[in-house]
Amino acid sequence: MESAMPESTAAYQPTPRTVPTRARERAAYDRELVHGILDEAYVCHLGFVRDGAPVVLPTLYGRVDERLYVHGSTGSRPLRMTSADGGGGAGTESADDEAGTGLAVCLTVTHVDGLVLARSAFHHSINYRSVVVHGIARQVTDPAERRTALDAIVDHVVPGRSHDSRPANARELPATAVIRLDLDEVSAKVRTGGPNDDPEDMTLPHWAGVVPLTRGYGMPVPSDDLDPAIALPDYLSVL
Amino acid sequence: MESAMPESTAAYQPTPRTVPTRARERAAYDRELVHGILDEAYVCHLGFVRDGAPVVLPTLYGRVDERLYVHGSTGSRPLRMTSADGGGGAGTESADDEAGTGLAVCLTVTHVDGLVLARSAFHHSINYRSVVVHGIARQVTDPAERRTALDAIVDHVVPGRSHDSRPANARELPATAVIRLDLDEVSAKVRTGGPNDDPEDMTLPHWAGVVPLTRGYGMPVPSDDLDPAIALPDYLSVL
């Protein structure tokens, strides 16, 4: 359904599971907003079902247009579960196609932007931006797409870095599993602004407002064994 | 099994699903380490199973000793799924006891501490600290425990804040569901230090090292409608 839409559509199509039951005014489907939230984070939280129970693991990822990529050892649990040779237990939603057996996943990314202090305990909150992606993750077997995906994961950590490191070699490539999750069933949720206190609480003697959270970078720490002649690259000095 | 252990035991007992298949040397079960990671984060990622598929949502939480608490509207999906009057779909692992029907969850908290740049793309990584908790979440019905949990969630955002805000009233309390997850099946995973490049890569001309990530607080922003006579409380000035 969604995959038949042109990628130039400005927004993802809401589905029953991407429309929240509460705080609907915070839900958003704009592709640019979603891409920005995804690109700014370092880890996602990847959920899948194993033996009928949920598992949520933090992992690196990369984005190429409307596709997310996650990589890992071919021996790791979620990646084995996407492989065609089995490993998927109860609760996995499998589908065979040219890309192999799929694994039902939910991939979530969250930024915490501020602490929201209301006069009432009930209205305390945080300002945040999150993206939730539902879908079937599939192993990538095409060599060219695997290289693109691995570059994207490295460049997600530090933009431009894939061109300044040794690419995966013939020993590393077969040991690395790459899985793909298409951005089809996607929603963002964003809270901004101050507390939403009830009118009758406005005269209470408690401080109310927002404490912004900031994120930054410390000074890069070279490896002890780094050749001192190798200067800090530009893509790090601009962080 | 685990629940029969005295809480003073210094470490959580590993179980099959808390022993990683890879990087076992990064896994840890020390309670103090786990508590520290949990207490430092603002949101967890809560995973559960709905209609056989995984769902991962960011949410606030609080900790009281060996119990985690999550709250939400009684109308929200995961909280409805823990209630005794149903709502739990396929894939939920239910168990009836005095605390009501349970929901199988996986609650994960992650801090990203640094970007690890290796000479090889393959060995790029991040320094991180994460905690994964598996278990059955149950609704809390005892009024005293509910108050304790709600205070803990507010104090998790800003320590000491629960004493400087209006407690939940007779209208808000019935609208708020509180669920509890005991810290029994728990593991931490920690990566620190520089890149682990292969010996044959040491002479490559690429910068290698760690870019630390930092987190801080911006200046608190009072609500527009805050009485100017209300000064910034001490618990915010020390952030």
Per-residue model confidence as pLDDT tens digits over A170-185: 999 999 999 999 999 9
Pick from A121, A132, A168: which is nearest to B166 by CB? A121
CA distance A57 to chain B (A): 7
Pairwise CA distance, residues A192 & A128, whole Å: 7
Question: What pLDDT does B8 receive?
Answer: 61
A133 close to B (CB below 8 A): no
- pLDDT at res. A1: 43
pLDDT tens digits, A30-81: 999 999 999 999 999 999 999 999 999 999 999 999 999 999 877 777 777 7
Cβ–Cβ contacts within 10 Å for residue A185, how many?
21
Nearest CA in chain A to B201: A166
Q: What is the mean pLDDT of chain A?
A: 89
Residues of B in contact with A197 (CB under 8 A): 223
Which residue stretches of A59-121 are H helix?
77-81
**pLDDT tens for residues A86-145?**
444 333 344 444 445 799 999 999 999 999 999 999 999 999 999 999 999 999 999 999
Task: Give this prediction's pTM.
Answer: 0.90
Give the DSSP letter string of A190-205: EE-SS----GGGTTSS
So what's the pLDDT on residue B20?
A: 83
- Judge: B207–A230 Cβ closer than 8 Å, yes or no: yes
End-to-end CA, chain A: 40
Which has more confidence, A22 or B212?
B212
CB contact under 8 A, B154 and A121: yes
- The shortest CB-CB distance from A161 to any of B106, B117, B218 is to B117
Asked if the Cβ–Cβ distance from A221 to B194 is below 8 Å, we say yes
Position B58, amino acid: P
Query: What pLDDT digit, counting tens, does each position of B48-78 carry?
Result: 999 999 999 999 999 999 999 999 877 777 7
Question: What is the per-residue pLDDT for B81?
Answer: 77
Q: Exposure of B97 by Cβ count < 10 A (0-12 exposed, 13-18 middle, 19+ buried)? A: exposed
| Residue B228: φ, ψ to 5° | -60, -15
Say if residue B82's pLDDT is above 50. Answer: yes
DSSP letters, chain B, are -GGGS-TT-SBPPP-GGGS-SS-GGGEE-BHHHHHHHHHH-S-EEEEEEETTEEEEEEE--EEETTEEEEEEETTSHHHHHTSTT----TT-----STT--EEEEEEEEEEEEEEEE-SBGGG-EEEEEEEEEEEEEEE---HHHHHHHHHHHHHHHSTTGGGGSBPP-TTTGGGEEEEEEESSEEEEEEE-SS----GGGTTSSS--EEEEEEEEE---EE-TTS-TTSPPPHHHHT-
Say which amino acid occupies A132.
V
The answer to whether the beta carbons of residues B102 and B135 sit under 8 Å apart is no
Q: Are A62 and A39 in contact (CB under 8 A)?
A: no
The confidence score (pLDDT) of residue A72 equals 83
Chain-chain contact of B211 with A232 (C-beta, under 8 angstroms): no
Q: Is A129 helix (H, G, I), strand (E, B) or coil?
A: strand
| B122·A172 Cβ contact <8 A | yes
| Mean pLDDT within B117-143 | 96
